[in-house]
Amino acid sequence: METKEMSYNELVINGFMALFFNLVMLPALVFLNFLIFGQRPWLSIPVLFVLVLLFVLMLPGYFSQEPNEARVMVFFGEYKGTFKNTGFFWVNPFMNKKKLSLRARNLDVEPIKVNDKIGNPILIGLVLVWKLKDTYKAMFEIDAQTMADSKGTGTASVSVAGRMNAFEDFVRVQSDAALRQVAGQYAYDDNEHDTNELTLRGGGEEINDQLERQLNERLAMAGMEIVEARINYLAYAPEIAAVMLRRQQASAIITAREKIVEGAVSMVKMALDKLAEDGIVELDEEKKAAMVSNLLVVLCADEPAQPVINSGTLNH
């Protein structure tokens, strides 16, 4: 989206030079006025009035600006540009200088309840870093002035903190909507479905990148930019958390059993091959089946095997 911000290119005077003129030159002119027109008050009084009026009118034009701050210059309702230089300056005293902060700000969005792709209720939250990118859009594309005027006075005297809090509320609402949209596109976990499918729990950077893109698209109209967005909380909703925990435990047990059986079969095969290779004992098919059964019971059992010594022959 094209930026509408422009630089302020009208008269700007170094603040110290303007202050020197205001505090030194004007009093000197007042003194000269009394020296020259002291005997003619009909001339000295109008000149004195003009000099005092000039002194008073110059006072609102002073301002200082720190790094990563900006002032949106508005002259009787007309946008004149954005001033971003740092230092002490003087501008037209009738210029309305709306101060904004361009510094990065953190926002911790509280976990919200949403449904994932397969309908499971989950709790998901995020933390993001944002900052102003286009001061014109931030001030005039959204109703930041009314939002910042918490008292409802309708006046223009709104602090920079009030404006930034209004912007933060806007970011919070849009981040809530973006989080719901992204969370609804993916399942919490694969849950034995397609293990190649991207999930919220396993998506990592891909999910965060998509969330960041969604937020930037939503906030571009307000002149705001997301520097970083990350999911910082992800869990099943309390009403299904216990059931899902048991399901995950069962899945873990099944996976572990598969590994145990796979290893046990491998060990039984190795044992039979070794016995046959070394010619230690001749086993028919029935005895091999019995041996396989006993070995699998021993290797796959949860409890340690209790050895039984057979003092007879293999036939008894």
Per DSSP, 305 falls in state: P
The residue-averaged pLDDT of 155-168 equals 79
The per-residue pLDDT of the chain, averaged, comes to 80
pLDDT digits (tens, 9 = 90+) for 80-137: 999 999 999 999 999 999 999 999 999 998 899 998 888 888 899 999 999 999 999 9
In the chain, the DSSP E strands lie at: 12-14, 62-65, 69-75, 78-83, 87-91, 96-101, 105-115, 121-132, 224-236
pLDDT of residue 146 exceeding 80, the answer is no
Half-sphere exposure in the Cβ direction for 308 (13 Å, CA): 4
Question: Of residues 307 and 24, which shows the higher confidence score?
Answer: 24
pLDDT digits (tens, 9 = 90+) for 192-218: 555 677 888 887 788 899 999 999 999
Tokens 């965060």: give the residue. Answer: 208
Within 8 A by CB and 6+ apart from 79, the residues are 72, 73, 136, 140
pLDDT of residue 178 exceeding 70, the answer is yes
**What residue segments make up the domains of the chain, in order of their start?**
11-97, 103-237, 240-298
Q: Both tokens of residue 158?
A: 């709104």
**pLDDT > 90 in the chain, percent:** 37
Max mean pLDDT range (47-61, 142-156, 277-291)? 47-61
Report the distance separating Cα 54 and Cα 208, nearest Å. 57
Burial status of residue 255 (CB atoms within 10 A of its CB: 0-12, 13-18, 19 or more): exposed
Q: What is the pTM of this model?
A: 0.70
Backbone angles phi, psi at 204, to 5 degrees: 60, -125
Per DSSP, 5 falls in state: -
CATH number for the region 103-237 comes to 3.30.479.30
pLDDT digits (tens, 9 = 90+) for 254-296: 777 777 777 777 777 777 777 677 666 666 677 667 767 766 6
Report the distance separating Cα 168 and Cα 182, nearest Å. 21
Q: Look at residue 93 and give its three-state secondary structure.
A: coil
Provide the β-strand partners of residue 69: 101
pLDDT of residue 152 exceeding 60, the answer is no
Nearest alpha carbon to residue 61 among 96, 41, 20, 90: 90
98 in Cβ contact with 122 (< 8 Å)? no
